[in-house]
Structure 1
């Protein structure tokens, strides 16, 4: 085969490009085979067009690759390596996961019951260095008509659509996390984080090795609490928003909507209203009563707990505002076998809708980790693909090829600032925001005072009662 013929075989017009919702042209962008649906073709095409795919993930937040023969975990991993050769298998997240047989980088998406909703989140956003991209694959789709979707949300919109009052309060006070894991994970609980033991998280039962791992990863200092001093605890503060490392857009970048005790019942309620399944309603009633008693009245904390930076609980109303904005911008995509979903983990969240179909099987891989506090990355260059795009503009309407303005250098100019200048400028702007625009507040560090807190029990049925304003 000649070089020219080989180039044609792996050109951009060898695939179809469209949207799930053509009227809105929003995430995810969908790539499907035009001629060849084999795994071999997908891998070679993805490797040849990797910069273009990365630009689309950057622009749209997510790209769905559909219709190719990706029927196993090893096949999924092979395809992902063609898209992203720098994969990582270090996991410090919150959901229990299992490595898939025959792979190094493919894991089960979440080893928790399928009728548990997983709220929208940036993967490992609470860590110093989350993965830059995340990839999901479907080995078996759900048989039910609704439920089980991996939902998406552009978290850049959350920053813009939150009320100024709440956004400014979050920026001023920041977020405080408390993370606890027992030596043995809990089985019968509504708290997904409690299912994961620190032994499973760090793959060792040696506390000194755990401390060394955390130190090497520049993680918060480990404390050991509990009667036997065998409960893992970390406390730290973090910013609620981050600047995207490439586009420099503000992004809602934290886990408060996941680490809040009202999240589980509220996500069940949203799902119940959407799919109208009586089983979800009954689950919602049970979990609501359980959480109000355990967390609201008795004062227990979740394994992964979040408050404002000074220890003030995030109220029910404040959390509902955050949830409402997120759900307003969510997109639901049903899985098909062989699907690969590529996500920009620094702009776009993912979550899982509850289902009662136990046959659904979704796996996940993620890219190298990126320090979220580091200076901005240079914009990606796709000069090698720009000429090919110009040559194929006539195919745009025939093959439903969307606008690809993010690929051109004009929309992503090289920065003239050095990394040191960028870091200094960013720091200066943040200082101005915190000191001049917002009312600065004293840094109030609240120490851990046990795994329970005691609250009074005023009227629960009124959303504006003092109870809902004070609880987390």
Structure 2
């Protein structure tokens, strides 16, 4: 293939090839060169086809651009800016990162040891305004087992979550408590505690940190600890959001990353997949350490997650979420020059552990999008009843109350000029109608109920069956 600046062919979509890495998950779509693999062609092609590539990222959740000549961080950044000119260099996440030389928007994917697993997550999901898209690149792949940046469709996680657990998350919400020290910790399995607040905000001036928090709409920090030099925030958040374009429900939080059981569990999953006994031994060792540290000694992680009422999320509940995530994960081994474009509001990413110290992955991200308008409010059934003035005692008598049927009104001379009924007569008529319908619905002989699911020969298969709705309404 050509690596010169003279293009072979045109910049049409037909001058690249597309394929799927995984037919079952449809994730990700792979775009590779047909005739020209040069960086020049890729950059010009991305500029010419931005809407089409964006559409594929939306449809598939992730697009893997593979086979082009992308050899260093500046070339990666140039390619990404051809697709997305508006990148952000503001990072308020939890992993320690460093910017690559010769770039402004390209960072190391994580400066934690490569044998540390990083569980699946949507980037900065706990912030008010996370990035809309993420872009990973590979300068050197792992030559031993592991090291993949795995993907998972978090729409599937939301859909497959057990109903009772989902309801519990929706009703209680999540509480985040975030703590960063003046200096990051070195000897720890909690990646978030490796990041100091000075690194996160790029300043050692507390007043500047507070100003940045105000500008970004973040909770105002408290300064705690012996010397008041520990950064602390707490806030409540929703566990789900709706996708900003498709309106689909997405599991959108960091529970599976910042639960104390995560590190040994992710090592166990790595052992099960790769059969490397080093991961097994490390999993057992860190289970012991984690139980002592977090259960018996009461330590908390740098980003501590609980239910919104302050109660702990159990290991069993965290495992339910983790199991669904691993069921839906897709693994793609990196190749040098790869660029992975991810829809951050539908698809998560995470790092699989490896013992190859030469692995080098970089990342950039788009400008943020506010998620508050995308969150799902939860209303208890009791709250709905209270809002419309319905009590247990009055429930039967008020089945046809106009408050329960939006748009329904009482027929009175006050609101219907053509009516000849007085207010008292109209209310008597309404009450008698409601009472009659109640008696009809509860009269087994009238409905001729012969068996559950069969009403007088009428079927109950379809939700549109009027008899079924009447039966359910008065059950």
Q: TM-score, normalization: structure 1?
A: 0.78
Q: How many Å apart are 1:433 and its aligned residue?
A: 7.3
Aligned pairs (5 A) from 1:76-225: 76-144=76-144, 146-225=145-224
Q: State how far apart, in whole Å, the 1-side matches of 2:215 and 2:250 are.
A: 27
Deviations 1:406-434 (A, max 9, x none): xxxxxxxxxxxxxxxxxxxx88x754779
1:12 aligns with 2:13: yes
Residue 360 of structure 1 aligns with which residue? 359
Stretches of structure 1 lacking an aligned partner (at least 5 in a row): 376-425, 439-472
Aligned pairs (5 A) from 1:288-303: 288-303=287-302
Q: How many Å apart are 1:25 and its aligned residue?
A: 5.7
Residue 311 of structure 2 aligns with which residue? 312
Equivalent pair of 1:135/1:366 in contact (CA under 8 Å): yes
Equivalent pair of 2:170/2:378 in contact (CA under 8 Å): no
Q: State how far apart, in whole Å, the 2-side matches of 1:143 and 1:122 are.
A: 26
Q: How many Å apart are 1:24 and its aligned residue?
A: 2.2
Equivalent pair of 1:19/1:25 in contact (CA under 8 Å): no
Q: How many Å apart are 1:435 and its aligned residue?
A: 3.7
Q: 1:437 to 1:35 in 2, by over 3 A?
A: farther
Aligned pairs (5 A) from 1:345-384: 345-374=344-373
* SS of the residue 1:102 aligns to: coil
Deviations 1:107-141 (A, max 9, x none): 00000000000000000000000000000000001
Aligned pairs (5 A) from 1:35-46: 35-46=35-46
Equivalent residue pairs, number: 381
Q: 1:25 to 1:177 in 2, by over 3 A?
A: closer
Residue 253 of structure 1 aligns with which residue? 252
Q: State how far apart, in whole Å, the 1-side matches of 2:154 and 2:242 are.
A: 11
Q: How many Å apart are 1:79 and its aligned residue?
A: 0.3
Deviations 1:212-248 (A, max 9, x none): 1111111012011111111110000000000000000
Q: 1:250 to 1:435 in 2, by over 3 A?
A: farther
Deviations 1:296-326 (A, max 9, x none): 1111111110000000100011000000000
Equivalent pair of 1:172/1:434 in contact (CA under 8 Å): no
* SS of the residue 1:9 aligns to: coil
Q: State how far apart, in whole Å, the 2-side matches of 1:214 and 1:284 are.
A: 37
Stretches of structure 2 lacking an aligned partner (at least 5 in a row): 1-5, 387-475
Which of the pair has the greater relative contact order for Cα pairs under 8 Å at 6+ separation? 1
Equivalent pair of 2:181/2:229 in contact (CA under 8 Å): yes
Runs of 4+ with >3 A deviation:
5-8, 429-438
Q: State how far apart, in whole Å, the 2-side matches of 1:9 and 1:125 are.
A: 39
* SS of the residue 1:176 aligns to: strand
Equivalent pair of 1:30/1:66 in contact (CA under 8 Å): yes
Q: State how far apart, in whole Å, the 1-side matches of 2:24 and 2:265 are.
A: 27
Q: 1:292 to 1:247 in 2, by over 3 A?
A: same
Aligned pairs (5 A) from 1:64-83: 64-83=64-83
Q: State how far apart, in whole Å, the 2-side matches of 1:193 and 1:109 are.
A: 14
* SS of the residue 2:270 aligns to: helix
Residue 447 of structure 1 aligns with which residue? none
Q: 1:312 to 1:227 in 2, by over 3 A?
A: same
1:227 aligns with 2:206: no
Q: State how far apart, in whole Å, the 2-side matches of 1:264 and 1:210 are.
A: 30
Q: State how far apart, in whole Å, the 1-side matches of 2:294 and 2:379 are.
A: 36
Equivalent pair of 1:171/1:434 in contact (CA under 8 Å): no
Equivalent pair of 2:7/2:36 in contact (CA under 8 Å): no
Equivalent pair of 2:240/2:250 in contact (CA under 8 Å): yes
Structure number with bigger Rg: 2
Equivalent pair of 2:132/2:366 in contact (CA under 8 Å): yes
Q: How many Å apart are 1:285 and its aligned residue?
A: 1.6
Q: 1:333 to 1:209 in 2, by over 3 A?
A: same
**Aligned Cα root-mean-square deviation (Å):** 1.9
Residue 421 of structure 2 aligns with which residue? none
Q: How many Å apart are 1:374 and its aligned residue?
A: 3.5
Deviations 1:119-177 (A, max 9, x none): 00000000000000000000001111x20000000000011100000000000000000
Q: How many Å apart are 1:6 and its aligned residue?
A: 9.0
Equivalent pair of 2:8/2:35 in contact (CA under 8 Å): no
Q: State how far apart, in whole Å, the 2-side matches of 1:323 and 1:69 are.
A: 37
Deviations 1:266-323 (A, max 9, x none): 0111111110111111211221111100001111111110000000100011000000
* SS of the residue 2:176 aligns to: strand
Q: 1:437 to 1:112 in 2, by over 3 A?
A: farther
* SS of the residue 2:254 aligns to: coil
Deviations 1:328-359 (A, max 9, x none): 00000000000000000000000000000001
Q: TM-score, normalization: structure 2?
A: 0.78
Residue 449 of structure 1 aligns with which residue? none
Residue 57 of structure 1 aligns with which residue? 57
